[in-house]
């Protein structure tokens, strides 16, 4: 693994993050009406002076790029602003909701891997047979079905046939682990199935490719058992594209969690985001979006590093 | 081209699918021919009725015919998805070819900006834009249009880089064609198969993005029907009237599935990576 690559990759992500902050900053400022207008709202009795004072307090009288630097400075010091609706500290709100989203993300990825990878391997081993075609169709259907539709199907089935099953009503893991996992079961399957379809497709393609390689034939001719060849040789070599796709899905996961959290009433970041959108609570919206995007950039960076560990062929010079 | 058609027709799945797509296009242009009722007409005598021969998809809480609403919903969803895809295809392709063809600092600047937009999950960016500027058909088109620019730009940039060193591109330079002419008349036709595949595969995800926004209540404002919106509003009656969510949802799945199959079929015949 070349050290210079890691450094270059790290350095390249800095402008990306900076541009992301500019995009978010500019988009929020493009909204007709500013913070002062929002706060004044119906209170039209404020005098001209008081309003000017508010502009000064918020730094809105300064040129836009100065405003950007002030904003960045406070963001970097962990001050994400205050909710326009509740007056709560936005950073605290984020930290409160984060565990729910993380648990959902973790469980969904887990579901998608345990479903997607085995099916993909079976499909590749039985290429062009009935089983393969069946799995391919299942994958394509999974890819095409909106998550919220799969979710409603689950809700309908479970509320009609498993009446004792708790679908809604979030409980923290440390309060009641069993109940917590039960509440997360349907949401993580709903989200996990969508990602499983993607993982399945890429696993199939890259396993077919690696099973046709010479080293697989060599391994067989050495007399190694079928499973050993498939899992130790072929699968290991097929792993990098699978990890790439799983990495790309992390972004999808955050998007999907907005839908799923709202559908299953899970109090995570996605639900907070939609609430804030409906209440036009810009500081919260802005903070959640920035947080999600920066997390994704960092995760992608980590995935790049993981590559070099699992696949020593890549020097990424 | 002949070989392409032959390969495409050989697979019966592609033909069945083509029929569904044609039906979809027809419905999008002439919803009034298919829809038995006015999608906005309320009827207090038939509220939350289950599917029947008079109401294929049942009725909603205002007695509106859900099948007719779904048909008009298809039209709205298709208009939004197609218009936004045209925006992202135009801008994305332009940026991608420019940055791939010129390289150097132009490529650096464009690529960094594209990277930044690419870091946003599509639904998150679309939701952000709609949240800031309000949900109207126009804003939805712009929002989803912006979201898919990076995908076109990245794919077309890669394709351009891979062909720009080839002899025929260099030859057109030697002949003295100007750069814009080369990009338009030499580069673009040679990356057009990749363009078509990118367009189709992302068209289906654009439909899903629009549907998800509709589901979250950020789509075209009511009473105008959209497929995602129908599912979202139906969830309030999920136990009393599950058909309100399940049937329009099924319709979304079928539409996206058939576009995905079309995309896969096109990719198999057009994308050199998938040809033997």
Kindly list the structural domains of chain A, giving each domain's residue range(s) and its CATH number in brackets, ordered by start: 3-76 (no CATH), 93-310 (1.10.3720.10)
pLDDT tens for A166-209 read 778 788 888 888 888 888 999 999 999 989 998 998 899 888 88
Cα–Cα distance, A166 to A179 (Å, whole number): 8
Question: What is the pLDDT confidence band of residue A311, given thresholds at 50, 70 and 90?
Answer: low
Contact indicator for B91, B148 with CB cutoff of 8 Å: no
Who contacts A136 (Cβ-Cβ below 8 Å, separation ≥6)? A123, A204
Q: Is the dihedral of CA B97, B103, B104, B110 positive or negative?
A: positive
Architecture of domain B10-24+69-274: Orthogonal Bundle (1.10)
Other Cβ atoms closer than 10 A to B26: 12
Boundaries of every domain in chain B: 10-24+69-274
Q: Which residues pair with A89 in a beta bridge?
A: A82
Cα–Cα distance, A194 to A144 (Å, whole number): 8
- What is the DSSP secondary-structure string of A96-142? HHHHHHHHHHHHHHHHHHHHHHHHHHHHHHTTTSHHHHHHHHHHHHH
Q: Which residues of B4-16 are buried (b: 16+ CB within 10 A; e: fewer)?
A: eeeebeeeeebee
Contact indicator for A303, A249 with CB cutoff of 8 Å: no
SS (HEC) of B251-274: HHHHHHHHHHHHHHHHHHHHCHHH
User: What pLDDT sits at residue B273?
Assistant: 60
Cα–Cα distance, B267 to A139 (Å, whole number): 17
* Yes or no, beta carbons of B120 and A289 under 8 Å apart: yes
pLDDT tens for A102-140 read 999 999 999 999 999 999 999 988 888 888 888 988 888
Q: Which of A10, A16, A163 is the best mutation test for B, with the most CBs of B within 10 A?
A: A16
Minimal Cα–Cα distance from A72 to chain B, Å?
A: 17
Q: Which of B13, B124, B133 is the best mutation test for A, with the most CBs of A within 10 A?
A: B124
Q: Which stretch of A273-277, A311-315, B60-64, B206-210 has the lowest confidence by average pLDDT?
A: A311-315
* Yes or no, beta carbons of A31 and B129 under 8 Å apart: no
The verdict on B264 touching A (C-beta cutoff 8 Å) is yes
Task: Assess whether pLDDT exceeds 80 at residue A1.
Answer: no
How far CA B252 is from CA of B31, B114, B230, B274, in Å, comes to 16, 29, 11, 28
Q: Which of A11, A146, A278, A287 is the best mutation test for B, with the most CBs of B within 10 A?
A: A146
Identify the closest residue of chain B to A16 by CA–CA distance: B116
Which candidate from B133, B249, B261 shows the least CB-CB separation from A146?
B249
Report ipTM for this prediction.
0.85
Identify the closest residue of chain B to A264 by CA–CA distance: B235
The more confident residue out of A31 and B125 is: B125
Provide the mean pLDDT of chain A: 83
* Yes or no, beta carbons of B212 and A255 under 8 Å apart: yes
User: What pLDDT sits at residue A317?
Assistant: 41
Cα–Cα distance, A261 to A151 (Å, whole number): 11
* Yes or no, beta carbons of B123 and A256 under 8 Å apart: yes
pLDDT tens for A7-30 read 887 888 888 899 999 998 888 888
CA angle A135, A139, A144 (to 5 degrees): 150
- The burial of B258, by beta-carbon neighbours within 10 Å (0-12 exposed, 13-18 middle, 19 or more buried), is given as buried
The more confident residue out of A273 and A36 is: A273
* Yes or no, beta carbons of B121 and A254 under 8 Å apart: yes
Minimal Cα–Cα distance from A225 to chain B, Å?
A: 30
Q: What is the pLDDT along chain B (276 residues), one digit of tens a residue?
A: 666 677 767 777 778 888 888 888 888 888 887 777 778 777 777 777 788 777 778 777 777 888 888 889 899 999 999 999 999 999 999 999 999 988 889 999 999 999 899 888 889 999 989 888 888 899 999 999 999 999 999 999 988 888 887 877 778 877 877 888 888 888 888 888 889 889 998 999 999 999 999 999 888 887 888 888 888 888 888 888 888 888 899 999 999 999 988 888 888 777 666 554
3-state helix, strand, coil in chain A (%, to 5): 75, 0, 25
Size of interface A-B (CB pairs under 8 A): 134
Q: Which residues pair with A82 in a beta bridge?
A: A89
Minimal Cα–Cα distance from B183 to chain A, Å?
A: 28
Compute the average pLDDT of residues A282-300. 88
Compute the average pLDDT of residues A80-97. 86
* Number of residues written out for chain B: 276
The answer to whether the bond into A83 is cis (omega within 30° of 0) is: no
User: What pLDDT sits at residue A269?
Assistant: 93
* Number of residues written out for chain A: 317
What does pTM read for this prediction? 0.87
Task: Report, in angstroms and rounded to the nearest whole number, the Rg of chain B calculated over CA atoms.
Answer: 22
Cα–Cα distance, A257 to A300 (Å, whole number): 18
Question: Which residues of B fall within a CB distance of 8 Å from A28?
Answer: 132
* Yes or no, beta carbons of B211 and A159 under 8 Å apart: no
The verdict on B237 touching A (C-beta cutoff 8 Å) is no
Q: Tokens 């020593």 — which residue? A: A312
Who contacts B27 (Cβ-Cβ below 8 Å, separation ≥6)? B34, B71, B74, B75
User: What pLDDT sits at residue B268?
Assistant: 76
Minimal Cα–Cα distance from B188 to chain A, Å?
A: 28
Q: Which of A152, A261, A281 is the best mutation test for B, with the most CBs of B within 10 A?
A: A152
User: What pLDDT sits at residue A258?
Assistant: 92
């Amino acid at each position: 693994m070349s050290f210079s690559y890691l450094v270059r990759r790290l350095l390249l992500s800095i402008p990306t993050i900076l541009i992301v902050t500019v995009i978010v900053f500019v988009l929020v400022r493009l909204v007709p009406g500013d913070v002062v207008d929002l706060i004044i709202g119906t209170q039209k009795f404020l005098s001209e002076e008081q309003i000017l004072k508010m502009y000064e307090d918020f730094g809105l009288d300064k040129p836009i790029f100065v405003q950007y630097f002030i904003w960045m400075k406070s963001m970097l010091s962990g001050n994400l602003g205050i909710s326009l609706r509740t007056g709560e500290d936005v950073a605290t709100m984020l930290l409160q909701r984060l565990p729910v989203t993380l648990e959902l993300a973790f469980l969904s990825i887990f579901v998608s891997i345990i479903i997607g990878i085995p099916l993909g391997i079976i499909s590749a081993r039985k290429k062009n047979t009935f089983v393969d075609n069946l799995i391919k169709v299942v994958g394509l259907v999974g890819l095409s079905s909106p998550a919220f539709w799969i979710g409603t199907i689950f809700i309908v089935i479970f509320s009609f046939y498993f009446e004792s099953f708790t679908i809604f009503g979030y409980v923290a893991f440390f309060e009641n682990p069993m109940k917590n996992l039960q509440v997360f079961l349907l949401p993580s399957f709903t989200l996990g199935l969508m990602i499983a379809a993607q993982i399945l497709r890429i696993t199939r393609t890259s396993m077919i490719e690696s099973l046709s390689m010479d080293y697989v034939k060599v391994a067989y001719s050495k007399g190694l058992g079928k499973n050993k060849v498939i899992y130790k040789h072929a699968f290991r070599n097929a792993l990098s594209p699978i990890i790439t796709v799983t990495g790309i899905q992390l972004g999808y996961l955050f998007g999907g969690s907005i839908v799923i959290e709202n559908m299953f009433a899970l109090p995570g970041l996605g639900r907070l985001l939609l609430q804030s959108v409906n209440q036009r609570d810009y500081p919260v919206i802005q903070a959640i979006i920035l947080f999600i995007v920066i997390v994704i950039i960092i995760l992608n960076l980590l995935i790049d590093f993981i590559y070099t560990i699992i696949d020593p062929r890549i020097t990424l010079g | 081209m002949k070989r392409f058609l032959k390969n495409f027709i050989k697979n019966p799945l592609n033909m069945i699918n083509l029929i569904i797509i044609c039906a979809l296009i027809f419905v999008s242009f002439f919803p009034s021919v298919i829809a038995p009722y006015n999608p906005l007409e309320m009827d207090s005598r038939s509220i939350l009725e289950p599917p029947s021969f008079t109401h294929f998809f049942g009725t909603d809480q205002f007695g509106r015919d859900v099948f007719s609403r779904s048909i008009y919903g298809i039209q709205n969803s298709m208009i939004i998805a197609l218009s936004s895809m045209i925006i992202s295809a135009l801008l994305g392709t332009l940026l991608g070819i420019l940055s791939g063809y010129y390289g150097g600092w132009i490529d650096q600047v464009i690529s960094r900006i594209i990277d930044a937009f690419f870091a946003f999950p599509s639904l998150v960016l679309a939701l952000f834009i709609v949240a800031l500027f309000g949900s109207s058909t126009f804003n939805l088109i712009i929002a989803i249009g912006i979201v898919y620019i990076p995908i076109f730009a990245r794919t077309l940039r890669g394709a351009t880089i891979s062909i720009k060193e080839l002899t025929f591109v260099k030859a057109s330079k030697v002949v003295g064609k100007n750069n814009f002419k080369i990009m338009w008349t030499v580069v673009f036709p040679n990356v057009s198969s990749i363009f078509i595949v990118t367009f189709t595969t992302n068209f289906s995800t654009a439909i899903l993005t629009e549907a998800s926004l509709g589901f979250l209540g950020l789509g075209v404002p009511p009473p105008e029907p959209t497929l995602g919106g129908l599912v979202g509003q139906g969830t309030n009656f999920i136990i009393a009237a599950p058909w309100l969510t399940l049937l329009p949802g099924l319709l979304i799945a079928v539409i996206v599935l058939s576009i995905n199959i079309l995309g896969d079929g096109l990719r198999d015949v057009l994308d050199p990576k998938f040809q033997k």
